[in-house]
Every structure is written in structure tokens, then in C-alpha cells.
Amino acid sequence: MASQVLVAANRGPLSYALAEDGTLSARRGGGGLVSGLSTALAEQPDALWICAALSDADREAVRRGVAEPGVRMLDIDPTMYDDAYNGIANSVLWFTHHHLYDIPREPVFDAGFRRQWESYERYNQAFAQALAEEAGQGAQVLVQDYHLALVPGLLRVLRPDLRIAHFTHTPWAAPGYLAMLPDTVRETLLWGMLGADVLGFHTEAWAAEFLGSARLDDAWGRSEVRDGPVVEHRRYAVWPTRTTHVRAYPLGVDGDELRALAHRPAVNAKLAELRAEVDGLRTIVRVDRTELSKNILRGLLAYRELLTGRPQWRGRVVHLASAYPSRQDLAVYRDYTAAVAELAAEINAEFGTEDWQPVLVSVKDDFERSLAAYRLADVALVNPVRDGMNLVAKEIPVVSEAGCVLVLSTGAGAYEELRQDALTVNPYDVTATADALHAALAMPVGERAERTKRLAAAATSLPPTAWFRAQLSALGPSSPAGV
């Protein structure tokens, strides 16, 4: 049956496991995008989620015709997928939007890159094709993230009747940074995005970067853009004049749901374990995918500077860093993961004593342990160089028991809403970060609690369900008669 609400995202809400006896079982997938969307979709029982088959077990499920209701997995050729996901999405677009290139050496846009870009186009085409097949007349389609930036444009060509939104969970690159991409690639990217009726970003800042990029193209006479939050795009004859609305929808957390999760027996048990480990010490907590944009190394350097410059904290504080591996197919991520472990070990060797270990690194993606750490945290360190939103900054104040001081970088999307009650730092300034950690540890309990209350209120102002509904309503009701 054709669907009236469709979501497309690289990662789906579930993944399959293949047992030795050949049976397949479905498991719920992880990650912020997946959990936010899953919550939002719970109230859209007829929605369809189109995603890529990510593993051999997923591909096997597609081949055997095994499917869960509401989910369609696409069996993408593994080489094409590797080029599109590792090559373009995570090595080029991720690095561009997060400004992560090491400019003297990278990027290099050569023939290999162009081959990968073609795969990225075909991977986007596969999603557009599947959406075109599954969508009912005039349906609402919500496309997610940088993996699928071309889908709105491609889908509009196939199905002009659909209402299409695209949401970017990352930052958008500053126009000058985006200009590093080869002209045809950058134009195609903007063309793809501008195929949407509504373009959503987590912050006004990222929406403004997008509009700046579209204007830059305008300067080259390739599209027409006028001031304000509206882009008019007249590049393609298929739709001579249409309007793309560019807006911020700052995703928040569902306070009640999160507090309930954080008080389940399994989390209580982890909390008891953690309490025994930290044994009355003050805690500085961080939880990240081990990811270059999260700036874990400078966070550790700041902690080292704190212990060096303010020796009164030695033996009284512990840094609980949960840094679980991510995208380990890419060498740059593997190297970064190793560098984090090495620096933590150095700090432990430099300051540790028989009965005090200054840094405890956990590399397991263990949400229950993270929730326990949130409850226990005196200080939360969220210092990304550039981050679409960073939901950890929003989750900790909601779950924290005694009030927790948030040290937050200006590069996090969450900075736009949380800046007033966090201690804010320039993510590159290690000394300022060390000073903020000191101020956070020294903050009076009453002030800490007051700030935490206000942070929690801001963090829960647009929970996933309302965030999703706001985008659906910006698209207008799905109408069987089409647009």
C-alpha cells in the first residue's frame, strides 16, 4: 500500500543479526538520529522508513524478503555503498561541513574522488527511486542528512506531486569552505537540496550558512536567491519557479521519556558500579562517538592543564570519558581513537597515584552506563569544534541528579539555546577550557542547580515528536490530490 508519510535515512531503525543456524533476527539500531526519529514516528503508524542495508545480515534479509512493518531496506551494491558512505558522505561531506580538513594535505579531488562521487549519485538515485515507488499521491517525504543531499532534487524529477523536506543533522559548511568542492559537485549538491520544499537545520547559524552558500552560487549566475529565509530557485526547467523554505528546527529531548529510561533498574545497577569506581571524587563527564569533530583530544589537554595549573584538584576529581568507536573503516578515525587512548594513558601516567586514576576511558557504546554517568556528573564537558546539535549537552541537564555544570563550546549547535546557562568556551582554546573546568568544579551548589533547571527547560522545548510534526506541518497536509 502506498504511504502518505515517508522517511529516508542511511541508517534504519533496526539491523539484522545472522545466527550460525542461518536464522535472522532484528535488533533496534542506535544513534541520535535513529532514536529521535523512532520516537517521532511512533505516532505515525503508517509511515514507511527507507534505509540502506548496512551489513551482510541486512542484505541477506532483503534477499530473503524478510522485512519488518514500516521499514524497507535497500540492497545497495557494497562497493557503491562504500564509495558513497565512507568515501563521499563521511570523508568529504562530513569533513567539509565540520571544517575538519588538514588543509596542507587535504582535500584532494582527483579521479578517485570523481568515481566515488558517481557512486554517491547512484546511491542517492536508489533512494529517490524507492521513495517514488512507495509514496502515495501528494505524500510527505522527510529525507535525512548529508548522505542523501541529492534525493530531494532527484525525487522531484520523478514525482513532482510529492511534498519534500530535507533535514541536515550536521552543521552546514561556511560558504567559503564549501567552495573548496569542485564546482560541478557543489552545484549538484545545492541543486539536490533545493529540490526540497522545506530545508531544516538544527540552528539558525547552519541555515544561514546554507543560504550563504546558495547566494554564492547566485553570484555565479546559477540560481536566483533573494534575501530572507526563502530561496527561489529557477535553475531547472522541470519546475520553472518554486520556493524552498530554509528553517531551523532545533531538535530537543523528551524529558519524561529520558528520565524514565535513566531510572530503569539496569541503569541503577550501572550507577552503583560507577559510584564504587569514582568513590566520592568530583566527576567531569563526557560521552561521544570517537569522532574528530568532538574534539576529545583538546578536552583531555584541558584536563591535563587543569591538573597542572590547579594542583588542588589532584586526587579530588576524575574524568569519566566515554568515547566509543565509530566509522572504524576509515583510517583517520582509527588513528584518532588510538590518539585518545594514548593521551589518556599519558595523563594517568603523569598524575596517577596508587589510589587515584585521573582519567577513566570507556570505549563501549553503553547507553545505560552513559545515563548513569549523566546522573552522577558534577561537570559535563561538551567541546566539539563544530557539531550539528550535540544532544549530550541537552540530555545531561535533564537527567543530572544534583545539578551539573555544562562546559559547552561555541561550536556546538546546542550553544544557540544553552549559551546563557552553560560555561561557554572556544573549542580550540585549551587554557580557557581548563579555566572553565575549574570554574565549573568550584561553582556553588545552589547556582549549579538553578542553571541546570533552566538548561533542562531549554533542552526539552522541542522534543522529537514536536520537531517532526513541525516539519510535517511546514510541508502542509498530505493531499491525495497532489500539490
Q: Which stretch binds ligand G6P (CB under 6 A): 27-35, 181-189, 199-207, 374-382?
A: 27-35
Asked if 32 touches ligand G6P (CB under 6 A), the answer is: yes
> Shortest Cβ contact with ligand G6P: which residue?
169
Q: Which stretch binds ligand G6P (CB under 6 A): 29-37, 204-212, 306-314, 374-382?
A: 29-37
**Residue 291 region by backbone torsions, left for phi larger than 0, else alpha for psi between -120 and 50, else beta:** beta
Closer residue to ligand G6P, CB minimum distance, 59 or 319: 59
In the chain, DSSP finds a helix count (H) and a strand count (E) of 19, 16
Asked if 31 touches ligand G6P (CB under 6 A), the answer is: yes
Give the residue among 199, 209, 205, 208 at the shortest CA–CA distance from 175. 209
The least distance separating ligand G6P from the CB of residue 81, rounded to whole angstroms, comes to 12
What part of residues 56-85 is at the interface with ligand G6P (CB under 6 A)? none
C-alpha–C-alpha distance, residues 358 and 284, integer Å: 10
Measure the CA angle with vertex 87, ends 86 and 92; round to 5°.
105
The amino acid occupying position 152 is P
Member of 7, 33, 93, 340 binding ligand G6P (CB under 6 A): 33
The least distance separating ligand G6P from the CB of residue 393, rounded to whole angstroms, comes to 14
Asked if 394 touches ligand G6P (CB under 6 A), the answer is: no
Member of 186, 327, 375, 448 binding ligand G6P (CB under 6 A): 327
Q: How many residues bind ligand G6P (CB under 6 A)?
A: 10
With a CB cutoff of 8 Å and minimum separation 6, the contacts of 20 are none
Task: Map residues 361-390 to x or -, x wherever contact with ligand G6P holds by CB under 6 A.
Answer: ---------------------------x--
Closer residue to ligand G6P, CB minimum distance, 327 or 386: 327
Asked if 202 touches ligand G6P (CB under 6 A), the answer is: no
Give the residue among 240, 241, 242, 246 at the shortest CA–CA distance from 227. 246
C-alpha–C-alpha distance, residues 52 and 11, integer Å: 6
Residue with cell 582554546: 429
Closer residue to ligand G6P, CB minimum distance, 206 or 351: 206
The least distance separating ligand G6P from the CB of residue 323, rounded to whole angstroms, comes to 14
Measure the CA angle with vertex 415, ends 200 and 31; round to 5°.
60
The least distance separating ligand G6P from the CB of residue 225, rounded to whole angstroms, comes to 26
DSSP state for residue 412 in the 8-state scheme: B
Closer residue to ligand G6P, CB minimum distance, 148 or 302: 148
Asked if 326 touches ligand G6P (CB under 6 A), the answer is: yes
Q: Which stretch binds ligand G6P (CB under 6 A): 25-33, 158-166, 330-338, 371-379?
A: 25-33
Give the residue among 191, 182, 199 at the shortest CA–CA distance from 92. 182
Asked if 29 touches ligand G6P (CB under 6 A), the answer is: no
Bond from prior residue into 107 cis (ω within 30 degrees of 0): yes
C-alpha cell at position 453: 533547571
Closer residue to ligand G6P, CB minimum distance, 329 or 346: 329
Asked if 11 touches ligand G6P (CB under 6 A), the answer is: yes
Please tell me whether residue 127 adopts helix, strand or coil conformation.
helix
What part of residues 148-187 is at the interface with ligand G6P (CB under 6 A)? 169-170
What is 286-329 written as a DSSP string? EEEES-GGG-HHHHHHHHHHHHHH-GGGTTTEEEEEEEE---TT
C-alpha–C-alpha distance, residues 116 and 122, integer Å: 10
Binding site for ligand G6P (CB under 6 A): 11, 31-33, 145, 169-170, 326-327, 388
